[in-house]
Amino acid sequence: MIAVGGVALRIAGAGWLQEYPTLEMPLGGLELGVCVVVLAGAALPFAGRSARLGVARA
């Protein structure tokens, strides 16, 4: 989920950063979307008994 979402949003143009000649970085919906995807993907293994990284044994 994190990898697919991260690649897709990167292709969509999220999270670019320009350092030179002046520092510019966007802060919009796409960047917040990446953050939500990453945090949701990190919380998924601990979400419940049935969502342990797709593995049934605990």
Which residues are at the interface with other proteins (CB under 8 A)?
1-3, 6-7, 10, 14-17, 19-23, 25-27, 31-32, 34-35, 38-39, 41-43, 45-46, 52-55, 57-58
CB of 3 to other proteins, least distance (A): 4
Q: Which residues contact 1 (CB under 8 A, 6 or more apart)?
A: 37, 40, 41, 44
Name the CA dihedral angle for 5, 10, 14, 17, rounded to a multiple of 10 degrees: 140
Q: How far is the CB of 33 from other proteins (least distance, A)?
A: 10
Rounded to a whole number of angstroms, the minimum distance from the CB of residue 31 to other proteins is 6
